[in-house]
Structures are given as C-alpha cells and as structure tokens.
Amino acid sequence: MDVIMLTALSRWMENTDLEEITWRSGKNKISLKTNNEPVESIIPSSPLQPVLAPAIGIFRSSQPGQTNALTEGMKLSQGSELGWIETGKTREALKAPCKGNLKIIAIKDGQPAEYGQPLFFIEPE
C-alpha cells in the first residue's frame, strides 16, 4: 500500500460520518479509526437574552400600592422597568437590556432570588 492510497482513503473517510473502516485489497488490509473525542461539551445557544438578578434579595414586581403589568409575550423597549431586587433596605431596579418580546417570566412577586439567577428571558427584536 502506498502513501497516495492511504491519503486518498483517509480523505474519503473524512467526508463520511464513519468512525471506523477496514479496507482490504488482496493480501493488504488496513483499518482506520477517527479520533472523535468531543473537545468540549456543546453549549446550546439561545436567541433569548436573560435578565439576571444583580444581587441576592426578594423580587418585587412593582412599587408598593401599584399593580404589576408584566405579562409574557408583551413588547418591551430598552430600559423598560421589570421590577426590583430588594436586599435589606436597598432596592436595585431591573431593566430590559434590549428592545423585544418578554418571552418568559421566571420569578413571582415576593420570591427570593440569588445573585445571578435568571429572572426574565427576552427575545430581542
């Protein structure tokens, strides 16, 4: 078996999804195996943009005395108010990072959130 043959064979194999082949020609026999160990796990990408809790605390959807008007599917503009995270006496506002549709609301009023927890998912427009 010559180098040209071997090269042709491995090229051909690269263009298939075969992982292992055995090729016989008369007395000659060769086995090839691809080295297909996954380099890293595949991170699924999503077009949705999460809004993460900027601090640990209690989620408040609205100011006291007001009602919350957030519903899934509603349109948001950049900077739309989504609620607050209350840590002790401080309140940190949650704002839409981009214009889009509010796809998922992952928290309810009064629920605790830890730092970095995704609270909303927005489909950017």
Partner 1 sequence: MFRKALIANRGEIAVRIIRTLKEMNIASVIAYSQADFASMPVKMADQAICIGPASAIKSYLNIDAIITAAKITDADAIHPGYGFLSENADFAQACHENGIKFIGPSAKTLRMLGNKSEARKMAMKAGIPITPGTSGCVSESNYEQEALKIGFPVMIKASAGGGGKGIRIARNEQELRSEFHIAASEALSAFGDNSLYFEKYIERPRHIEVQFVRDLKGNVLVFPERDCSIQRRHQKLIEESPSPAVSETLREQLSEEAAKLANAANYIGAGTVEFLLDNEGKHYFMEVNARLQVEHPVTEAITGIDLVREQVLASAGETLAMPGITKIKPNGHAIEFRINAECPEKDFRPEAGTIKKLVLPGGLGVRTDTYLYAGYSLPVFYDSLLAKIIINAPSRRLAISRAERALRELETDGIKTTSAFCLRILNDEDYRLGKTDTAFIESLLKKTKHTK
- Binding residues for partner 1 (CB under 8 A): 55-58, 87-90, 112, 114-117
Give CA–CA dist 71/112, Å, rounded.
20
Tokens for 41, please give them. 């796990």
**Rounded least distance, CB 60 to partner 1, Å:** 13
C-beta of 59: minimal distance to partner 1 in Å?
Answer: 11
Please, which residue, 13 or 55, has the CB nearer to partner 1?
55
Residue 17 vs 114, nearer CB to partner 1: 114
Cβ 87 to partner 1 shortest distance, Å? 5
Residues 6+ apart with CB under 8 A from 21: 9, 13, 31, 32
| Cα separation, 30 vs 40, whole angstroms | 30
Residue with token string 């601090």: 55
Smaller CB separation from partner 1, 12 or 115: 115
